[in-house]
Amino acid sequence: MFSAKKKTVSEKAQGGGLALPVFIYSPGYNLQLEAHVFPAVKFSLIYSKLKEDPAFAQHRFFEPMPASFDDAATVHKKDYLQDLQTLNFSRRVYRSELPLTKSIVDAFFLGTGGTIMAAEMALDYGRAMNLSGGFHHAFADHAEGFCYLNDVAIAVRVLQKQKRIKRALIIDLDVHQGNGTAKIFRHSRHVFTFSMHEEKNYPIKEKGSLDIGLDSAMHDEEYLNLLETNLMKVRKSYKADLVFFVAGVDPYENDRLGGLSISKEGMAARDRMVCEMFADTPIAAVLAGGYAIKTEDTVDLHIQTAKALAGMI
């Protein structure tokens, strides 16, 4: 198994006494959804569990500001953003499969602000995790798949505009391809999108920089071998200023919307592999999907990602 040998960004930050990762969270992340497959309560549950865990006692939590209209407009078409702001349930909006309410739109702008903040803090300190985000099905001109704004794409563009980064790497390990992200950056030389997802699952696939479609019911060993091979390929061929880790936990074997068969231990190994292989590059992690039969499993899997970022597992 790959083991990082260079001095890590975490080690570089330890001199400042800051425990990594830092976390970004707001109570405003929580969506008001009734009888929906999306576990809208997971954001507050993850936050509470992290705060109660003595292992994270020294880790700091920061509350973000919402992304601005201008931030969102670095990626999204203005007529689409105006539909969101005016709650106009147009053809550009209806494929979200979510209600269109002010509180939900506000939560997406806030979650996107959290991803921007996580990216900024990853650059400053080494590792940061937004306890929201990963809205990778949102396209420049329309919503899709529980996603109104593409937070990671917006964060990339905002930081590039500020000249804080030139090249970004997006590692998307959600069970569903980040089709919106792939389409947005299809012709960009300064953003590399790597997605490893279940091939015969939603959505209709877009072409990213490197797409690995997986057979349904794949188990840990084959999954982790493929991941290691392709992460090493990416690491050797593309040098990024910042890594975005879209750490969806729906490859889990008991996920309602995923068809892979990855155990909790396999998911932990996945997260650890990403963190070790890019130990010398700032990492900003976002949650993305997770629809386990038991919500507590979804929460525990996201906590595992936090522990991998912290080097605890």
**pLDDT at 1 > cutoff 60:** no
Q: How far apart are CA 54 and CA 33, in angstroms?
A: 31
Query: What confidence score (pLDDT) does residue 159 get?
Result: 99
pLDDT at 25 over 90: yes
**135: DSSP letter:** -
Question: Residue 4 pLDDT > 80, yes or no?
Answer: no
pLDDT higher than 50, residue 6: no
Q: Is 4 inside a domain boundary?
A: no
Would residue 1 count as lying in a domain? no
* pLDDT band of 32, cuts 50, 70, 90: confident
Report if residue 2 sits inside a domain.
no
Tell whether the model's pLDDT for residue 7 goes beyond 50.
no
The secondary structure of residue 170, as a DSSP letter, is: E
Q: What is the pLDDT of residues 163-199, one digit of tens each?
A: 999 999 999 999 999 999 999 999 999 999 999 999 9
Report the chain's mean pLDDT, rounded to a whole number: 93
Residue 46: domain span: 9-309
Torsion of CA 312, 111, 28, 80, to 10 degrees: -160
DSSP state of 188: -
pLDDT tens digits, one per residue of 74-119: 999 999 999 999 999 999 999 998 999 999 999 999 999 999 999 9
pLDDT for 12 beyond 60:
no
Output the pLDDT for position 5.
Answer: 39
Whether 3 shows a pLDDT value over 70: the answer reads: no
- 193 membership: H or E segment, kind and range: strand 191-198
pLDDT of residue 31: 81
| H, E, C per residue of 194-242 | EEEEECCCCCCCCCCCEEEEECCCCCHHHHHHHHHHHHHHHHHHCCCCE
Domain presence at residue 72: yes
Q: What is the pLDDT of residue 40?
A: 76
Q: What is the CA radius of gyration of the chain?
A: 18
Domain count of the chain? Answer: 1
Average pLDDT over residues 297-305: 98
- Residue 60 domain-assigned (yes or no): yes
pLDDT score recorded for residue 18: 77
Q: Is residue 274 part of a domain?
A: yes
Candidates 178, 132, 146, 150; CA nearest to 37 is 146
**CATH, residue 29:** 3.40.800.20
Q: Does 3 reside within a domain?
A: no
Rounded mean pLDDT, 197-207: 96
Q: Is residue 156 part of a domain?
A: yes
